[in-house]
Structure 1
C-alpha cells in the first residue's frame, strides 16, 4: 500500500545510491549525515534486507538495493517530468483539449478561429483522436466527447444534442424511389453504409423498427464517420449518420433525409468532460461558455432545417438504440 511507503526515506535512499556517499547525499538534501543514515536504517527495517554494502569508501547498492533504486529513480524522473510540464503549461498559458477526428475537422475546426481571436494570448492545442483522455496520467484540460451516459466523478457540460437519421444523395434517393415507395422497402433494397464506431448503427436501428432480417455483414463499413458521409454524398449508398457531422453536405443539398416518415433520433450527444478541478482554470471556463453558445446556435440551425424537411423527432430523453459494437457512450465517432 502507498500509505506504508516512506517517501522521505526514498528520497534519501535515491540520493545515497546515486552519489555513493552519505555526506554527499546530506549536502544535496540539506540535512545532516545522521538524518540520512537514520532514514536508510528505517527503510532497511521496512524491507527487511540490507540495501547497501561498503566498497572502500563508497556505499554500493546490494542486489535488492539495485532493484529498488531502478524503480525509485524512474518514478522520481516521471514525477519531475510531469511537474515541469505542468509548470510550463501554466507559464506559457497553454490550453489542451481532445476531440474525435471527424468532429474536430468538420465541426470544431471551422469555428475555433473565433475563440482564438478572443483569446489570442493563449496557446491552444487540439489532439484529434478517438480515444478518451486519462486525466490521471495525461496533461489534457478537457475532452470534447461524443457520449450518451455521464462518467462518474467527472464534470460534464452538454454542448449540443445530436440528430441521427438515414441520409442519402438526391440521385441515389431517386433510384430507390423508382424501386419502391415505402421508405423501409427502399432501405431493404439499398446499399447500407455502416459506420462501425457510431452509437446508432444499422443493426440496432433496423431491429428497433421491427425488421426481422437484419444483415450480419454490410458491404460498406467504415470506422470514420467522415468517410461514410462522403460516400453517401457520392451516391454509393445510405448512411445512418449524424446531421451535426453531415451538416455541410445537408446545407449544400448533396445529402438529404431518406424520408420524413423515418423519425430523427435525438439525444444529448456532445459534451465537455473533465475532472471538476479543471474548471478552476479560467481558460477552461471561457472555452466551455464559448463552445456551448456555438453548439446552441448550430443545434437550432439543424433543428430548423430538419423541421422544414418535414422530419419528426424521436428519442428525446429516451433510450438510444445502439449497434453490435457496444453500449451508447462507449466511445466517440471517428
Structure 2
C-alpha cells in the first residue's frame, strides 16, 4: 500500500458495504452522504476497480468489492477490539473511592501518598461525601462507610475502629480542673458533640455513671473535624475517637480529660462494595494496602494509650451505642 493511500476511505467503504446505502453510512459516520460518496470514488480511482454496482440508491458489492470488504471488515474489527482492550486496561488502572469527609481528610488523606508512591501509574479519584454510594448508578469501586456495618447485599470488611474518650486542650483542662468528681468537672465544661458519631455524650456519661445538669453547656458540630478544631481552640471538651484525633493527642494539643476512665473501642469504619467488585484489581490492591495501613494505625494507637496510661475496653456489640437502633449513616 502506498504511503499516500487514504486509509479513511476504507472506513467509509466498510460502512457503506455493511449498511447498503450512502445515506445510512453517512448517518453512522456523522458526515454528509456527499462526503461518503467522494471517499468511495477516490478509493475506486486509487485501486483502479469498481467496488459497487449502483441500482438507484441501493448499492451492491462487485467481486472486487466483496474481497475488499472481507479484508477491511476484519482489519477494522481488530482495530476496534484493540481500542476496547486498551480502554479496559486504562480503566483497570483507575480507582474511584468514596469516603466520609472527616475520615478522608484526617485519616485517609495523610496516608494516600504512600499508595500513590507504590502505584505511580494509577489514577485515583476520591469523593468525600456523607451519602452512601449507589453502586448501581455511580461509577465507584469502593466506599469506606462509618456505622454499624449492617449493610446487607454488600461485601463489608472492618477497617478502622473508634477509640472514644473525652479530649480538650491543656489550657481548657486547667480552666475546668480542680473538681473533686467527674460530675463536677463535666458540669463546668462545655461538651462538644459531633452529630454523626455513633457514641454520643449521653451514652458515654450514662455508661460511666456520671450525671450532669440537663441544661449543661453544649456545642453540636456536624463534622468530627469541626468538633476537634473547636476543642483544640479551647472551646470545650469533645468526645471523639483517637482514630481521628491521634495527631493532636500525640502533639499534646489535645489531652485526655478523664484518664482513669476507659477508652471505648468498637468497629466503626468499614470498606464496602458489591461482592463482585472484589474481582477488580483496583479493589484488591487498595484493600490490601488499606488493611496494612489500618494495622499500623491500630498499633500506633495502642502505643499512645500505653504512654498516656489509658485503658481500653472493647465493645463487642456496638449496636449498644445507639440503644438497639442501626442507623445506616456515614461519619462526618
TM-score, L = length of structure 2: 0.69
- SS of the residue corresponding to residue 134 of structure 1 reads coil
CA deviations over 1:191-246 (Å, ceiling 9, x no partner): 00111111111122223333455647853111011111011111110000011111
Give the whole-Å Cα distance in 2 for the aligned partners of 1:163 and 1:240: 10
- Per the alignment, residue 151 of structure 2 pairs with 151
- The offset of 1:289, in angstroms, is 0.5
Moved more, 134-143 or 146-155: 146-155
Give the whole-Å Cα distance in 2 for the aligned partners of 1:113 and 1:131: 25
Asked if structure 1 preserves the Cα contact closer than 8 Å seen for 2:94 and 2:282, the reply is no
- Per the alignment, residue 199 of structure 2 pairs with 200
* 1:54-73 to 2 correspondences below 5 Å: none
- Per the alignment, residue 174 of structure 2 pairs with 174
CA deviations over 1:244-287 (Å, ceiling 9, x no partner): 11111111100011111221110111221100000000110110
TM-score, L = length of structure 1: 0.69
- Per the alignment, residue 107 of structure 1 pairs with 107
CA deviations over 1:37-56 (Å, ceiling 9, x no partner): xxxxxxxxxxxxxxxxxxxx
Distance 1:263 1:244, change over 3 A: same
Extract unaligned runs of 5+ from structure 2.
1-23, 29-85
Distance 1:91 1:103, change over 3 A: same
Q: CA RMSD in A?
A: 2.9
- Per the alignment, residue 138 of structure 2 pairs with 138
Asked if structure 2 preserves the Cα contact closer than 8 Å seen for 1:265 and 1:320, the reply is no
* 1:248-263 to 2 correspondences below 5 Å: 248-263=247-262
Give the whole-Å Cα distance in 2 for the aligned partners of 1:186 and 1:121: 54
CA deviations over 1:109-148 (Å, ceiling 9, x no partner): 1111111111122211000011110112111101012222
Give the whole-Å Cα distance in 2 for the aligned partners of 1:283 and 1:255: 37
- Per the alignment, residue 57 of structure 1 pairs with none
- SS of the residue corresponding to residue 243 of structure 2 reads coil
- SS of the residue corresponding to residue 246 of structure 1 reads helix
Extract unaligned runs of 5+ from structure 1.
1-23, 29-86
- Per the alignment, residue 35 of structure 1 pairs with none
- The offset of 1:185, in angstroms, is 2.3
- Per the alignment, residue 98 of structure 2 pairs with 98
- Per the alignment, residue 129 of structure 2 pairs with 129
Moved more, 145-154 or 185-194: 145-154
Asked if structure 2 preserves the Cα contact closer than 8 Å seen for 1:266 and 1:313, the reply is yes
Give the whole-Å Cα distance in 1 for the aligned partners of 2:301 and 2:325: 26
- SS of the residue corresponding to residue 140 of structure 1 reads coil
- SS of the residue corresponding to residue 150 of structure 1 reads coil
Give the whole-Å Cα distance in 2 for the aligned partners of 1:88 and 1:183: 62
* 1:195-274 to 2 correspondences below 5 Å: 195-211=194-210, 215=214, 219-274=218-273
- Per the alignment, residue 331 of structure 1 pairs with 329
Give the whole-Å Cα distance in 1 for the aligned partners of 2:144 and 2:318: 22
* 1:38-53 to 2 correspondences below 5 Å: none
Asked if structure 1 preserves the Cα contact closer than 8 Å seen for 2:151 and 2:328, the reply is no
Asked if structure 1 preserves the Cα contact closer than 8 Å seen for 2:189 and 2:217, the reply is no
Larger Rg: 2
Distance 1:216 1:286, change over 3 A: farther
Q: How many residues align?
A: 254
- The offset of 1:188, in angstroms, is 2.0
- The offset of 1:169, in angstroms, is 0.9
